[in-house]
Structures are given as structure tokens and as C-alpha cells.
Structure 1
Amino acid sequence: MLEHGAFKRVENLVGRNRSGVGNRASKYRKSVALLAVPAMLAIAGCSSAPTNAATETGIAKEIKMVGVRDLTGPVAYAGVGAAQGAKLAVDQINEQGYLGEGVKLDLKEVDSAGAIERAASEVTRALSDQDVSVILGPVQGQQSAAVAPVVEARKVPVVFTQSASDGVVIGDYTFRATAPMHTFYQHAAEYLAKQGLKNVAVLYNSTYPTLAELATTHFPEMAAKEGLNIVKSIPVQTTTQDFTSPAQDLAREKPEAIVLLLLSSQSVTAMSQLRQAGYEGQFVGNTNNAGGNAAQAGQDAVGMVYPVDFSAAQSDSHAKKFVDSYRKEFGELPQTYAAEGYDAVWWIAHAIKASGDSSREGIRNGLEQTAREGFTGSMGEITFDGNDMRVPGVLAQWDGSRETVISD
């Protein structure tokens, strides 16, 4: 399970352990960071244009990429998973000689450590490296929205994973290899309607735009379409770890289902305290609960359902091939974040092959061409809305010991 085991591999991914950086950031520092991002943009815009491999036409023998992701901090499970999926794809592409004899992808991972200012700094550093052709990440919407104008100004392609909020895919150089959760979350609303669970409550993290937008905009629309009644909706912060009060408020409403749009660690506590408050109904989660993360809640999570863009329990051949390769490499089943990181790198590889050009502009052109055509990846038949990925998604369920797919 990545939240526990992945941290042992972080040093291999980032070169040294930077744990605790995100935890030391105070609210003051975060405010300063938001003011600092425009300054970084100005600095990046004034830098001289790269003249080396990143701008030379044709396919270079060594194609450098940089991944900027949370490898430590509260959502490290997403960043580490994406980094490991990306590494697997790089290894396969290089071993196959997919881009030509002697052509190698070189991916360096750096840690944004849960901090917007850190993400902006690392992205700016990568932009200034004249040999870096494309950037991967970050995984948090706030970080990605902050760096998106930077890469657009410098005309460097970036492929985000997760980061499903608005303000991320904003122009010709910003791409996203994660289908926004709201584009496949209808599996949850349809399930509730089919089960006759009409009265629904929502408990959500209002700090993360992806979760907040789903809770306040997209899910209410889905609920209305399926004839569901949202009896109560309660926001909490990322710092919230005690859910006693909202749990009691929700339990009093006697909903038949509660939708938890929280981080994985928050969901564990929330489910326990909701059960303690007397709630006995259905839990509906999100991708943060996938890949075994629900196991931390023990019996409280048994029967929980959650829509995902990928599950290791999928039966299609492409998913099974990816799962087998990932398990052989890392000794565990992949989470959805790993599939996203894997398909992001393959998207870049398809792009380079399509354009015949590994320069920044060549990769941008190739990413657009591949998006128009679509391709088959670990997540199935992948299509795009502009520069934004779309996948079918599935509804998964945690049975207490493993994840199963109950609808596709």
C-alpha cells in the first residue's frame, strides 16, 4: 500500500529524503508563496530561451524529462504512485527501443513536498534547464494552477496528473493525463439510484479544489439527474482530523448513503466516527480510497464503493498487462495514480513518435496530434477533450480484504 510502503522508496526517486518540508510550512509561508508565484513567472519569462536539445528538431538520443510531484506530505501516495508508474513506462519504452535505436528517455523526479512555492520553484528550475524537453506533474490542483501560467509563458509542454480543478489546462502547452473525477463520478450516482438509496449526505474537503468542485457543483447535478436528495452537505479543511461534530450532524439526518470527498487519511477517521455516531448506511468514496487505502478503516469501510479511472481489479487485457508488470517491478498492486503516471509517459512517447521531434515544440505538437487520435493505455481506450484526458472509469468496491470492480 503506497501510503505506508512508498515512503521507503522516496529516497531513490528524489535522491535524498525531504520528509517534513510540507509540514513545516505555516499559513504565513503559504500566503507568501502565492505572492511569490507571479514573481517566479516574471523571472522565468525574462530568462534566455533554451538552445540545446529541448529546441533542436528531430529525435534526440537522450530526451530529458522532469517530474515535479508530492513525494512527501499528505498526498504523497498520489505523487509516489505517479512517479513509479512513470518509471515503469520509461523503462519499457527504453527497453523496447520504441523511439528508435539508441534513443533513451531520462526522467528525473523532484519533490514538491505539498507546497505551492516549492512546486513553482522546481518547475522554474526545470524550465531553465536547456536540455529539459517536457515536465510531468504536479498532482495537486493548487500547485498545478500556480505553475500553468509559467509553462505557458515559456512555451514548455507539461503533462499533469490528478490536478483536476479548473485553471490547470489553460493553453497550448498544458496537458492533463488524468480524467477529471467528475467525468466518471456518475458511476456513483447511478449506483445509488439503482440501489434505491435516495437520501444522501456529503462530507467534503473544501481545501482541495477537485473535491470541493465535485461536492458543490458536479455531484449535486448528478444527484438531481438520478433523482437523489442531498439532505446535508458539510465542508471541512485539510487540517480537520476530528470529525465528531460533523459525524453527529450527519447521523441525525439519517441519510441512506454518505459521500465522502476527503483525503484517504481523513476518510478513515470520518468513517470510524460516523459509525460511532450511529450511522449504519452506505459509504461512497473517491479515488483517494482506491488501491487498498480503504483497508486502513478496517470493518468500517467494508462495502464502501468509489468510482475510479483505473482499478487493479479490471479484467481487460491492457489493464492486466500493466498490473503484472507493475507488480513484478514494485512488489505490489498499482493504484490509480500509477496508471495515470504510466499513461502520461506513454502519451509523451506516442507524441514524440508521431511528430518525429523530441524538442519542446515537437512534443507539444505530438501531444496534440495523439490527443486527436486517442490511444489505448492501462486505463483502457483513452480519448481527449482538447488537451484533457477522458477514460471510461469503473465503480470499485472494498470487500474488507480486496478491491473488486462492480460496474464498468
Structure 2
Amino acid sequence: MNWTLTCRKAAALMMVPAMLALAGCGAAATTEAAGAGIADEIKMVGVRDLTGPVAYAGVGAARGAELAVKEINGQEYLGEGVSLVLDEIDSAGAIERAAAEVTRALSDKDVSVVLGPVQGQQSAAVAPIVEAQKVPVVFTQSASDGVVIGDYTFRATAPMHTFYGHAAEFLGKEGLKDVAVLYNSTYPTLAELAETHFPAMAEKAGLNIVESIPVQSTTQDFTSPAQQIAQKAPDAVVVLLLSSQSVTAMTQLRQAGYEGQFVGNTNNAGGNAAQAGQHAVGMVYPVDFSAAQTEPHARKFVDSYRKEFGELPQTYAAEGYDAVWWIAHAIKASGDSSREGIRDGLEQIAREGFTGAMGDITFEGNDMRVPGVLARWDGKQESIISD
């Protein structure tokens, strides 16, 4: 796969106003006509963070997508001589760059579908552009509002709140009633979970939220909130932070005297919790996919991924993999690899559902849903403790 890690940042930023204006004008003339059948080469462009603080999510999704493309082409799933081609571009954590690179991709009439950013802020900026241009985009992660907004926006990640209930149920069953929440209020997915969804889950499970403290994405010193939480002596602390932040926060919470249960999120999955050393031992976190799952579909993906990349896949890789297979199923279902054909096919597969690396996948509209599992980190590896 050609990962285009370009030095286009400055140029991309300067092009944003003009490109957004172009999107508003509707470039229907460059869009392939529906009913054109399946082309011999079907071009896709991925725009996601391959560098920066959440590169683990972007790189994981890109690798999962790469593996799916290899399988689809190797099986000649879309027909003899038909190939998917995927070009990856780094959005480098910048909203303006993501919007510019997506708009650049849409101007290429040979691009049939876009694999969108992993950050909600970037995806919310991209969504109106692809809707105006009438080009299908499949996002991964980006679980905040304002992403799936119309007929051309699709999401191949179940919003975290749709499976995070596993955590509240666990706390209730374990009798860990008093809970503190430490969360990143800048990152929409985590902020919405902390401020809206988890309180409702906690009430249903009979939990008492004794403290809820927001921090920023730039926060790296958690001494003050750690001391504030430790003084409350909760039974559990729900840590809704980015991976690098979680390491520091858990360390400083232990240093402040907190000895209870840590509950994390998908950012801690796939071995990321290991960075916190002994402080993370026993941490639990809901995930949409874990390499520890034993179902046949999961094992097949894990084995293929490990053979290809020499390591276990994280949840982001499973999402990227299932996103590309969703697109392949869509093309096969519609018999049409044009932009409109892929859009129609994505909607059809969303109505029918399919089985992927993450299990039996269903949808609400254009938005993916998966069962999810609760994982525990024992200091060396991840295990599944509930489904």
C-alpha cells in the first residue's frame, strides 16, 4: 500500500478556504455516474492521523485496511482482475489539514470512496464537505455527534457509549458503587461519554458518581485532580483520557494514595495500558474488539494480522479492516463501483448486516453497532472477562 506521508501541510492549509467553497458549489460533474458496473481498479483514499498524539488509532486503522485490501484482491472477491487501491494520507492531528486533504481527494474523479479521519473534530469538519460533493466516506473512531449526518457519511466504529455499559454493569456486580470520573473534555467522544452517557449508565447500575473532573487534551500533570479524587476514596475511577494521559493520571492517582479499581476505555486496549506499569494491573475497559477474543472470525483476523505485521492487532485495526470489507461487500451488492454505486451498496449492507473481525455487525442507519466485550489487563496481556 502507498502511504503518502507528504510534506503538504502548508499548502493544504492555504487551500482550505478555496476547497470548502468548491465543496459548497457541488462538484457533481466530477462524480462517476451510477450504473457503470465494477471498474478494474477502484481507488480509495484514507485521510487519518499517521503521526501525532492519536497516531496509534490512525496507523492501526490503516494497517487493518491494508490487510483487508490484500485479502479482497487476493481472493478476487470483486471479480477477476478487479483491484482495490488504497492511498493513505496523514492528517497529522490537524482539522484544517484533514479537510484540505479530503477535499483534494474528492477533486480526483477516479477516487470512489474515502476512509475518513479517526478524530471526531476532524471528521465533523469533513462530513459536510463529502455530503456536498456526494462522495461516500467511511469513518472509523470519530464517535462524536456531527459525523454521520446524511446519505454519504458512514461510520465503521460503534460509538463507545453503545458498548460502554459493560463497564457500569461490571462495577454494579462487583459492588463498586462509589465512582469518580476523570475525563478529557476536549475530545468529543470522551466528553460526551463522561457528561451524558456514563451518568445514565451509572444510575441504571446503581452507582454513585462522587466526583467528575474534566481536563484538557494538553493536560499532562494530574497532581491536583488526583489528590481531589483520592480524598473522596471512591471504589473505582473511570479514566476517560487519551492513552498517554492515562499513563500519567493512573500513576499520579496511585501516588496520591488511591488504591481502588481503574476503569478505562478503548485507548487503553491492545497493550497500551502496559505503559503505566504496575499501576494499570487489574484495569478493565470495554472494547469493540480484543485480540483475546476466541470466536472464529476474531481468531482468523488476529492470525492474519499477526502474520502480516508481526504483532497483535488493536481495536483500531479491526475497525479499519471491517470498514474496507464493508466497502467491498457494498460494491459486490450493488454491482457498481461508482461513487453512487458504493453509497447505495453501503446502505444495503447496513440494512442486512455482516460478520467481520468485530463479530456480528449491525447498523442504526449508516452507523455501525457491535456487541463489544469487557477486557482486563493483568500486566502482561489482555483477557476477556465478559461479553
> Matched residues in 1 for 2:328 and 2:219: separation?
41
Residue deviations 1:311-353, cap 9 Å, x none?
0000000000000000000000000000000000000000000
Q: Which residue of 1 aligns with 2:296?
A: 317
Q: Which residue of 2 aligns with 1:291?
A: 270
2:64 matched to 1:85?
yes
Residue 379 of structure 1: which of 355, 358, 373 is its match? 358
> Matched residues in 2 for 1:159 and 1:340: separation?
11
Q: Which residue of 2 aligns with 1:14?
A: 3
Q: Which residue of 2 aligns with 1:171?
A: 150
2:329 matched to 1:340?
no
Instruction: Structure 1 unaligned segments of length 5 or more: list them.
Output: 1-11, 26-32
One-letter identity of the residue aligned with 1:230:
I
Q: Please give the secondary structure, in 1, of the residue aligned with 2:238.
A: strand
One-letter identity of the residue aligned with 1:187:
H
Q: Which residue of 2 aligns with 1:5?
A: none
The question of whether the paired residues in 2 share the 8 Å contact of 1:272 and 1:297 is answered with: yes
Q: How does 1:322-401 map to 2 (within 5 A)?
A: 322-401=301-380
User: Residues 226 and 337 of structure 1: is their aligned pair in 2 closer, same or farther, counting only changes over 3 Å?
Assistant: same
Q: Please give the secondary structure, in 1, of the residue aligned with 2:42.
A: strand
* Displacement of 1:52: 7.2
* Displacement of 1:270: 0.3
Which deviates the most, 302-311 or 36-45? 36-45
* Displacement of 1:222: 0.0
> Matched residues in 2 for 1:123 and 1:332: separation?
30
The question of whether the paired residues in 1 share the 8 Å contact of 2:163 and 2:371 is answered with: yes
Q: Which residue of 1 aligns with 2:117?
A: 138
Q: Which residue of 2 aligns with 1:8?
A: none
Q: Please give the secondary structure, in 2, of the residue aligned with 1:124.
A: helix
The question of whether the paired residues in 1 share the 8 Å contact of 2:112 and 2:135 is answered with: yes
User: Residues 331 and 217 of structure 1: is their aligned pair in 2 closer, same or farther, counting only changes over 3 Å?
Assistant: same
Q: How does 1:217-296 map to 2 (within 5 A)?
A: 217-296=196-275
> Matched residues in 2 for 1:262 and 1:381: separation?
28
> Matched residues in 2 for 1:110 and 1:54: separation?
26
* Displacement of 1:17: 6.6
The question of whether the paired residues in 2 share the 8 Å contact of 1:54 and 1:358 is answered with: no
2:102 matched to 1:123?
yes
> Matched residues in 1 for 2:247 and 2:148: separation?
32
> Matched residues in 1 for 2:281 and 2:2: separation?
34
Q: With structure 1 as the length reference, what TM-score do the two structures score?
A: 0.91
User: Residues 181 and 16 of structure 1: is their aligned pair in 2 closer, same or farther, counting only changes over 3 Å?
Assistant: closer
Residue deviations 1:63-109, cap 9 Å, x none?
00000000000000000000000000000000000000000000000
The question of whether the paired residues in 2 share the 8 Å contact of 1:394 and 1:405 is answered with: yes
Q: Please give the secondary structure, in 2, of the residue aligned with 1:72.
A: coil
One-letter identity of the residue aligned with 1:217:
T
Instruction: Structure 2 unaligned segments of length 5 or more: list them.
Output: none
Residue deviations 1:151-175, cap 9 Å, x none?
0011000000000000000000000
Q: With structure 2 as the length reference, what TM-score do the two structures score?
A: 0.96
The question of whether the paired residues in 2 share the 8 Å contact of 1:54 and 1:131 is answered with: no
> Matched residues in 2 for 1:187 and 1:155: separation?
37
> Matched residues in 2 for 1:184 and 1:357: separation?
34
Q: Which residue of 1 aligns with 2:185?
A: 206
> Matched residues in 2 for 1:157 and 1:242: separation?
41
> Matched residues in 2 for 1:80 and 1:55: separation?
32
The question of whether the paired residues in 2 share the 8 Å contact of 1:44 and 1:128 is answered with: no
Paired residues in the alignment total: 385
Q: Which residue of 1 aligns with 2:162?
A: 183
User: Residues 52 and 314 of structure 1: is their aligned pair in 2 closer, same or farther, counting only changes over 3 Å?
Assistant: same
User: Residues 52 and 39 of structure 1: is their aligned pair in 2 closer, same or farther, counting only changes over 3 Å?
Assistant: closer
* Displacement of 1:137: 1.4
The question of whether the paired residues in 2 share the 8 Å contact of 1:13 and 1:110 is answered with: no
One-letter identity of the residue aligned with 1:150:
I
Aligned residues: CA RMSD: 1.8
User: Residues 352 and 105 of structure 1: is their aligned pair in 2 closer, same or farther, counting only changes over 3 Å?
Assistant: same
2:174 matched to 1:195?
yes
The question of whether the paired residues in 2 share the 8 Å contact of 1:66 and 1:132 is answered with: yes
One-letter identity of the residue aligned with 1:298:
G
> Matched residues in 2 for 1:17 and 1:119: separation?
13
The question of whether the paired residues in 1 share the 8 Å contact of 2:5 and 2:89 is answered with: no
* Displacement of 1:54: 6.9
> Matched residues in 2 for 1:82 and 1:384: separation?
20
Give identity over the alignment, percent.
81
User: Residues 163 and 52 of structure 1: is their aligned pair in 2 closer, same or farther, counting only changes over 3 Å?
Assistant: closer
* Displacement of 1:39: 5.6
Residue 216 of structure 1: which of 177, 181, 195 is its match? 195
User: Residues 16 and 174 of structure 1: is their aligned pair in 2 closer, same or farther, counting only changes over 3 Å?
Assistant: closer
User: Residues 36 and 192 of structure 1: is their aligned pair in 2 closer, same or farther, counting only changes over 3 Å?
Assistant: farther
Q: Please give the secondary structure, in 2, of the residue aligned with 1:14.
A: strand
One-letter identity of the residue aligned with 1:14:
W
The question of whether the paired residues in 1 share the 8 Å contact of 2:305 and 2:311 is answered with: yes
Q: Please give the secondary structure, in 1, of the residue aligned with 2:28.
A: coil
Q: Which residue of 2 aligns with 1:74?
A: 53
The question of whether the paired residues in 2 share the 8 Å contact of 1:175 and 1:387 is answered with: yes
* Displacement of 1:48: 4.3
User: Residues 365 and 17 of structure 1: is their aligned pair in 2 closer, same or farther, counting only changes over 3 Å?
Assistant: closer
